[in-house]
């Protein structure tokens, strides 16, 4: 990704994006009344791109959307997103149900079924409540508005405690997005659903390229629990309504703006993780390669021992070095130095005479940055993670019940 010299201002809300209408309704899919079905529509078919889970067990919507974007990414009209059911591990009936929802959306919009992308989130191994979906889709279509982004963001939530949205007004165009995700989060597409939209004019191949660049330093840098979903999907849609074309000269600014939206959403997912009380930035410095830096950071970020120490406000830095040492990267422990925020705890593999009470106070902050300098090269990586609390166990121990 090309670095920009000017800071990009990101809003936590979405006003409207030219060429898009959106809805969020209660279709009765949840156990309790709440918005649970979202519909995002372009006024005319346009460009789309997508990034999906690398899990080999994939939900019906993932399989369908991959095929559609591979076949005609220049001709996508809408995205339908349901909560309360993942439509994963549901066999051919699940595929047929997903196709049915595409057909019903297309009938309401006057387009082709293969112009409709679908996403699902919820319990794995449960068939879609198809009659409720059939009844809800017309209501969603009739509720479309340019300004309904807030309710759409609520409609896609699962164990999230708050909706997640972000937007950027760039030079001649806008980019905005909504996302959900709170648990079963790991890199290489975290467990999330997200749709990002823009009114820029951009070819599908260039949009796909930009999306991959943005994902690499945003959604692929978050960890909550190290698990990976069957449903991870990030879609990008471009209406072209602003009239501003993305070309070689303004592509870096477009990627930077897209990345700013994705990073904002990714950080919100970690901050709203299941049972989270700490937001932790893991910064690995001076590794031999970027892959090494990323692997070390991911290993630290997913370590239950590291995460529980932060939950207890315990600056047990030995767990961090132990995680780095088992990452598979050939590090030299005698070159490693470690900081909690600005407080250095370790220098060249040896503990310093630091203030332990201050270290514990730093570990107990709502936000803390851990910096590990392995002094093996010049490559860096940042991963955002969180602590592991009693509430995480309670939430996931009773997820279905």
User: CA-to-CA distance for 160 and 181, rounded, in angstroms?
Assistant: 6
- Which of 181, 152, 161, 176 is closest to 82 using CA atoms? 152
What angle, 0 to 180 degrees and rounded to 10, lies between the N-to-C axes of helices 318-325 and 290-302? 130
Q: Residue 56: which residues within 8 A CB-CB, separation 6 or more?
A: none
Q: Cα 35 from chain centroid? A: 20
Strand partners, 177: 166, 196
Q: What is the dihedral of CA 211, 217, 221, 227, to 10 degrees?
A: 20
Residue bearing tokens 């936590």:
12
Work out the burial of residue 66: count CB atoms within 10 Å of its CB; fewer than 13 is exposed, 13-18 middle, 19 or more buried. Answer: middle
The candidate with the shortest Cα–Cα distance to 173, out of 269, 257, 275, is 257
Report the alpha-carbon distance of residue 111 to residue 96 in Å, rounded. 19
**CA-wise closest residue to 220 among 279, 289, 164, 291:** 291
CA distances to 17, 178, 234, 261 from 175, rounded to whole Å, are 7, 11, 14, 7
CB atoms within 10 A of CB 250: 17
CA-wise closest residue to 280 among 318, 311, 259? 311
Integer Rg of the chain from CA: 22
Q: Which residues have a catalytic role annotated?
A: 191
DSSP state of 378: S
Closest CA to 276 of 285, 289, 267, 284: 267
The strand pair at 367-373 and 279-287 is best described as parallel
């Amino acid at each position: 990704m090309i670095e920009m010299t000017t800071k990009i201002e990101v809003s936590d809300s979405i006003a409207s994006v030219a060429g898009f209408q959106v809805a969020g309704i209660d279709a009765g899919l949840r156990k309790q009344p709440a918005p649970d079905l979202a519909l995002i529509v372009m006024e005319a078919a346009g460009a789309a791109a997508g990034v999906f889970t690398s899990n080999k067990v994939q939900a019906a919507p993932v399989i369908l959307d991959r095929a559609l974007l591979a076949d005609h990414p220049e001709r996508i009209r809408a995205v339908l997103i349901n909560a309360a059911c993942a439509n994963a591990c549901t066999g051919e009936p699940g595929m047929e149900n997903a196709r049915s929802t595409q057909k019903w959306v297309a009938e309401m919009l006057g387009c082709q079924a293969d112009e409709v992308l679908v996403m699902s989130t919820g319990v794995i191994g449960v068939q879609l409540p198809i009659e409720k979906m059939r009844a809800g889709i017309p209501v969603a279509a009739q509720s479309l508005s340019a300004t309904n982004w807030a309710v759409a963001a609520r409609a896609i939530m699962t164990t999230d405690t708050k909706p997640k949205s972000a937007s950027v007004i760039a030079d001649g165009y806008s980019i905005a997005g909504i996302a959900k995700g709170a648990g079963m989060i790991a890199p290489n597409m975290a467990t999330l659903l997200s749709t990002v939209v823009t009114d820029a004019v951009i070819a599908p191949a260039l949009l796909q390229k930009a999306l991959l660049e943005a994902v690499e330093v945003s959604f692929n840098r978050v960890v909550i629990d190290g698990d990976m979903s069957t449903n991870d999907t990030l879609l990008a849609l471009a209406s072209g309504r602003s009239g501003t074309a993305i070309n070689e000269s303004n592509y870096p600014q477009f990627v930077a703006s897209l990345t700013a939206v994705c990073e904002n959403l990714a950080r919100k997912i970690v901050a709203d993780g299941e049972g989270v009380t700490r937001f932790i930035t893991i910064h690995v410095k001076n590794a031999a390669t970027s892959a090494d830096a990323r692997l070390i950071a991911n290993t630290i970020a997913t370590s239950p021992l590291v995460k529980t120490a932060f939950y207890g406000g315990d600056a047990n830095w030995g767990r961090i070095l132990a995680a780095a040492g088992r990452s598979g990267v050939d590090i030299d422990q005698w070159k490693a130095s470690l900081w909690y925020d600005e407080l250095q705890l370790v220098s060249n593999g040896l503990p310093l005479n630091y203030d332990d009470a201050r270290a514990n106070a730093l570990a107990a902050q709502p936000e803390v940055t851990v910096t590990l300098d392995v002094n093996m090269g010049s490559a860096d990586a940042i991963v955002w993670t969180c602590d592991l609390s009693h509430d995480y166990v309670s939430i996931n121990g009773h997820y279905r019940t």
